[in-house]
Amino acid sequence: MRPFPGPGSRVQVSPAGGAEPVWSPDGTRLFYRDNAGRDLFVAKLDPARAMTVLSRRKLFSGNFDWDWDIADYDVSRDGKELLMVRFPNEDQEIVVTTHWEKVLRERLRVGN
């Protein structure tokens, strides 16, 4: 990583490289995947000290969707939860519902 806008030099966050970096909302943690995409790590940072990496730890491993260019996960606004896409089994499908509150209200009215 590199301070923006400069000045400042590059700081290596992951000793073995990584992909799909996502910042925590408060800017003190950087989540990233290993180069194989199976492990998710978090680096704790100190922005006051030129983005110093204070610690790194593996959060978990899993068969989650991943891409080199775009993160296939996100961090909640409060920084306490992660949303990840897991590869479905062949007999499963992924369903995304937008405006779910409206859909739920409509379905509840049908039963009444």
pLDDT digits (tens, 9 = 90+) for 53-81: 999 999 988 777 666 667 878 888 888 88
Find the mean pLDDT for residues 72-101: 76
Buried b (16+ CB within 10 A) or exposed e, 7-23: eeeeeebbeeebbbebe
Task: Answer whether residue 1 is part of any domain.
Answer: no
- Asked whether residue 101 is assigned to any structural domain, the reply reads yes
Q: Which of 10-19, 33-42, 49-58, 85-94 has the lowest mean pLDDT?
A: 85-94
- Cβ-based neighbour number of residue 44 at 10 Å: 14
Q: Does the residue 69 lie in any domain?
A: yes
Name residue 60's beta-bridge partners. 40
- Split into its structural domains, the chain has a count of 1
Residue 39 in any domain: the answer is: yes
Query: Is 6 among the domain residues?
Result: no
Q: Is residue 41 part of a domain?
A: yes
Could you tell me the pTM of the whole model? 0.70
Amino acid at 40: L
89 lies in which domain range?
19-111
Is residue 4 classed as helix, strand or coil in its secondary structure? Answer: coil
Return d(Cα 60, Cα 25) in angstroms, integer. 20
Is residue 3 in some structural domain? no
Q: Which amino acid is at 78?
A: D
* Domain-located, residue 49: yes
Distances (CA, A) of 107 to 5, 93, 97, 99, 103: 50, 21, 13, 13, 6
Half-sphere exposure of 90 (CA within 13 A, CB side): 0
